[in-house]
Amino acid sequence: MGRYMLRRLANYLILVIVATSLAYFLAALSLNPRANFEAQKPRPTTAQIDATLKTYNLDPETPVVVRYARWVDGIAHGNLGLDIKGGSVADDFGRKVGVSIRLLVIATIIGSIGGVLVGAYGAIKQYRFFDRWTTLASFFLLAMPVFVVAIALQMFAVNINDAAGSTVIQYIGEYNPTLSGFWPVLISRLQHLILPTITLTLFQIAQYSRYQRNTMLDVLGSDFLRTARAKGLRRRTALMKHGLRTAILPIVPLLVYNIVLLFTGATFTETIFGWHGMGEWLVLSITTNDVNSVAAVSLFTAAVVLVAGLLSDLIYSALDPRVRFS
């Protein structure tokens, strides 16, 4: 088991290195950071720009392999380089990851548990009222762009706020920076969390429940569920303990990958609700020709895929004895 996981880890590490290197080369060769400085007002002199690019390790005259080597050397020393404004990418990085985690934790927990339950219950009640309506709602949501849902939710929040007479639900930003003290800040954070969390949760439930419904349907007709009931287990117990427990296996990898990849995939939600997380940063760094930031986000994404792979392997082998010794 340990050896198996070590082998997987080695495989994933190679993948991370390959993916990150390719991303660095792509960014370094295709983005044009010089344009940023040329657009500045007042325009710095060419010599100044050259000097800045050199200090930022963005100098196009230096061979890309050399820049790459410097970048790798920096990483080895915990230094992700400088962003296009001269700040430390590592500092940005820490801040943005924090924002993403705060945004996603609650949404993914509710989203995956909700998705699994909605899907499983829909399968049990196949073609009944609940199943029909959740199926319809899921496909309706999945067919809709995120921003439509987000904006609709914001409009809805406005109505609630109006009705309540005060701003119960906040629709922009992470918290009100003018507040101080533990409780007021916490409450403010929660008020700001409501809308993005609902947006993310809805999409996750819609997606996961479709998969869960299918796998649960397969299990419902199975002989072992019948055996469990023939033993004397109540229907509900048999469905949870033998049914759902088995039906959840095939969607474990899907859940884990989706959740972990949301870290850089919640771009729209972050942008619309004004949360400065990883997804927003990725788009922003590309549009600002910020090579080092792009590379940092790519590194993060690759690392996150590694974590997702290991996690899903671990969870899967914990849940399914059949894969343990292979």
Partner 1 sequence: MSTASSRAGGTPQDSTTEEGLTPVIETSKEPAADRHGGVPPLLEVSDLHVSFPSEAGPVKAVRGVSYSVRPGEVLGIVGESGSGKSVSSMAVLGLLPDSADVRGSIRMDGRELLGLNDAKMSKIRGKDIAMVFQDPLSALTPVYSIGTQIIEAIQVHQDLDKVKARTRAIELLDLVGIPDPHQRVDAFPHEFSGGMRQRAMIAMAIANDPKIIIADEPTTALDVTIQAQVLEVLKKAQDVTGAAIVMITHDLGVIAGFADRVMVMYAGRPVENGPVDEVYYRPRMPYTIGLLGSIPRVDADERRALTPIDGTPPSMVALPKGCPFEARCPIAIDVCREREPELLTAPGANHPSACHRSRELAEGGGEGLLDPATIYPIPPLPEAHEIERLPREERTAVLEVDNLVKHFPLLKGAVFKRKIGTVKAVDGITLEIKEGETLGLVGESGCGKTTTLLEIMDLTGGQAGSVTVFGKDVREVKGAKARKALRRDMQIVFQDPMASLDARMPIGDILAEPLKTHGWDRARTDARIPELLELVGLNPDHSDRFPQEFSGGQRQRISIARALALEPKLVVLDEPVSALDVSIQAGVLNLLDELKSRMGLSYLFVAHDLSVVRHIADRIAVMYLGRIVELGETRSVFHEPSHPYTQALLSAVPLPDPQKERARERILLTGDLPSPANVPSGCRFRNRCPKYLQLNPGEQQRCESEDPQLHTLAPDHTAACHFAEALAVV
**Residues found near partner 1 in the complex (CB under 8 A):** 7, 222-224, 226-235, 242, 245-246, 249, 319-322
- Write down the H helix ranges in the chain: 2-30, 33-38, 46-55, 64-76, 89-124, 129-142, 146-164, 182-220, 223-230, 235-238, 245-247, 252-265, 267-273, 278-287, 291-319
The smaller minimum CB distance to partner 1, of residues 34 and 241, is found at 241
The smaller minimum CB distance to partner 1, of residues 182 and 325, is found at 325
- Residue 177 CB, shortest distance to partner 1, in Å, is 50
The smaller minimum CB distance to partner 1, of residues 17 and 66, is found at 17
- 82 beta partners: 88
- Residue 2 CB, shortest distance to partner 1, in Å, is 16
Nearest to 314 by CA among 68, 53, 13, 4: 4
Do residues 35 and 289 touch, judged by C-beta distance below 8 A?
yes
- Residue 265 CB, shortest distance to partner 1, in Å, is 30
- 88 beta partners: 82
The smaller minimum CB distance to partner 1, of residues 111 and 309, is found at 309
- Residue 117 CB, shortest distance to partner 1, in Å, is 19
HSE-up of residue 296 (Cα within 13 Å, Cβ side): 29
Nearest to 112 by CA among 201, 179, 186, 185: 201
The smaller minimum CB distance to partner 1, of residues 85 and 235, is found at 235
- Residue 292 CB, shortest distance to partner 1, in Å, is 35
Question: What are the angstrom distances between the C-alpha of 270 and each of 100, 140, 195?
Answer: 9, 22, 11
- Residue 168 CB, shortest distance to partner 1, in Å, is 44
The smaller minimum CB distance to partner 1, of residues 162 and 218, is found at 218
Residue type, 275: W
